[in-house]
């Protein structure tokens, strides 16, 4: 099979808007979670914290493209532009039928939907409505807008699967290149900041509500004192490329993808299944032709919810035991939903290239119901060659990606 390498990285996150900024924030153990005063006016919303993207000029996107984009697509456009520039892809490469796109988000533009639908319902008429509204709200708004803006004409795979949107995008891109359907795939996902997403988890009693006065303490993955997740925003893009294609043009290589698995629990719509989680990790190991002991670090999905962290810990322990280092970086920046998989994949690249295994922020004592996995409570400097990133979503959709330090 063809080898798949990563030649471009772009991101916008609560911890920074580039590979280097994210690395420095993780090294400095910063938190990107903050109090959101605007949410105080929303009746009965318990959670008041989030991680937001800052210092991004979305108006730099040309208006002819921006007019059909909500914030989610705009964030994706900025990070994708970064990744394309980082990979030094030419317009000819992007326009080739051998270059494709795999990108997703949980939903389309939430803010646009909240502006558009009440007006239509109140007037029972579409007259006077912005003709671009649906293009901002539609589920595949990110993939469609990116293809138009960057003139990508190859395969287009919208991966809209909630919290696995971007990791499925990376997986779809990996398989497209590995099996010869494309030479280059631009992959990732995004999510925009909106109280609708926070409210969904708040109603389910799954959002953190206890630390509005100390936002940095809100997310505590695996810890016995955790009280729920923090909903955040962010986006990221990776350029995946067939190895020989990348070498022929002298591309910089961040790492190699060597394994991927995706599956569905086929059970409860929201309750996570440890069996499903375990199965997808085993599938990615099989794809990579590796044994569990070959994995030197795991970036866990662990969102700091009661049931999710417990199920994931048992699934992880069943395969890897108590030695493999595990951390969840959602303690630093919250849960980026459709953007989490790609940003956490960049963190895996940081682990490979910078020898930094990031801590699990706010982790002190492992929940007694969790399996005894090796959760990192402090940053660890360690040279690693193979790492895993796991993500899980509503509907029982699971993903597992394995990255390897590039060696010729």
> Which residue among the candidates 194, 211, 332, 335 is catalytic per the annotation?
335
CA-nearest of 148, 56, 168 to 103 is: 168
> Which residue among the candidates 99, 163, 340, 348 is catalytic per the annotation?
163
Q: How many other C-beta atoms are found inside a 10 Å radius of the C-beta of residue 269?
A: 8
Q: Tokens 């009746």, residue?
A: 43
Distance CA 295, CA 282 (A): 12
CA-nearest of 330, 5, 339, 73 to 188 is: 339
Distance CA 353, CA 346 (A): 10
Tokens for 185, please give them: 């795939």
Q: Tokens 């970086």, residue?
A: 329
Active site residue 211: no
* DSSP letter (8 states) at residue 368: T
Instruction: For 221-238, give the DSSP string.
Output: TTBTT---B-BB-EEEEE
- Residue 90, C-beta contacts closer than 8 angstroms, at least 6 positions apart: none
Distance CA 52, CA 233 (A): 6
Is-contact 258 403, C-beta < 8 A? yes
Total residue count of the chain as it appears in this document: 408
Q: By three-state DSSP, how is residue 22 classified?
A: helix
Return phi, psi of residue 187, to 5°.
Answer: -130, 150
Is-contact 322 215, C-beta < 8 A? no
Is-contact 402 384, C-beta < 8 A? no
Distance CA 262, CA 168 (A): 7
Active site residue 314: no
> Which residue among the candidates 301, 340, 348, 370 is catalytic per the annotation?
301
Q: How many other C-beta atoms are found inside a 10 Å radius of the C-beta of residue 126?
A: 11
Q: Please give the positions annotated as active site.
A: 163, 301, 335
């Amino acid at each position: 099979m063809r080898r798949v390498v990563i030649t471009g990285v772009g991101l916008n996150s609560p911890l920074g808007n580039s590979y280097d900024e994210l690395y420095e924030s993780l090294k400095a153990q910063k938190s990107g979670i903050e109090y959101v005063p605007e949410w105080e006016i929303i009746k009965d919303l318990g959670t008041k914290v989030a991680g937001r993207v800052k210092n991004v000029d979305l108006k730099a996107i040309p208006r002819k493209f921006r007019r059909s984009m909500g914030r989610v697509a705009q964030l994706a456009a900025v990070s994708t532009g970064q990744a394309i520039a980082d990979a030094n892809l030419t317009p000819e490469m992007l326009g080739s039928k051998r270059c494709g796109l795999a990108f997703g988000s949980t939903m389309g533009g939430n803010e646009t939907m909240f502006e558009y639908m009440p007006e239509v319902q109140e007037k029972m008429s579409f007259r006077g409505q912005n003709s671009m509204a649906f293009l901002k709200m539609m589920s595949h708004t990110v993939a469609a807008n990116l293809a138009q803006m960057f003139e990508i004409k190859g395969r287009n795979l919208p991966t809209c699967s909630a919290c696995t949107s971007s990791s499925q995008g990376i997986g779809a891109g990996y398989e497209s290149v590995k099996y010869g359907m494309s030479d280059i795939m631009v992959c990732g996902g995004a999510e925009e900041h909106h109280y609708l997403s926070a409210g969904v988890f708040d109603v389910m009693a799954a959002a953190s509500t206890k630390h509005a006065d100390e936002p940095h303490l809100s997310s505590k993955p695996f810890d016995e004192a955790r009280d729920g997740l923090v909903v955040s925003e962010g986006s990221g893009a990776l350029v995946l490329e067939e190895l020989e294609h990348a070498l022929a043009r002298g591309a910089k290589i961040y790492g190699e993808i060597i394994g991927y698995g995706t599956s569905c629990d086929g059970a409860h719509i929201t309750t996570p299944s440890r069996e499903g989680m375990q199965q997808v990790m085993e599938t990615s190991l099989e794809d990579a032709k590796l044994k569990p002991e070959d994995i030197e670090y795991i970036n866990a999905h662990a969102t700091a919810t009661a049931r999710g962290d417990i199920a994931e810990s048992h699934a992880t322990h069943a395969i890897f035991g108590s030695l493999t280092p595990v951390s969840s970086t959602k303690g630093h920046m919250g849960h980026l939903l459709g953007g989490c998989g790609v940003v956490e994949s960049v963190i895996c690249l940081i682990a490979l290239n910078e020898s930094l295994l990031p801590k699990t922020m706010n982790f002190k004592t492992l929940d007694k119901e969790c399996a005894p996995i090796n959760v990192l409570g402090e940053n660890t400097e360690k040279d690693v060659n193979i790492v895993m990133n796991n993500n899980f979503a509503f509907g029982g959709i699971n993903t597992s990606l394995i990255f390897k330090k590039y060696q010729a």
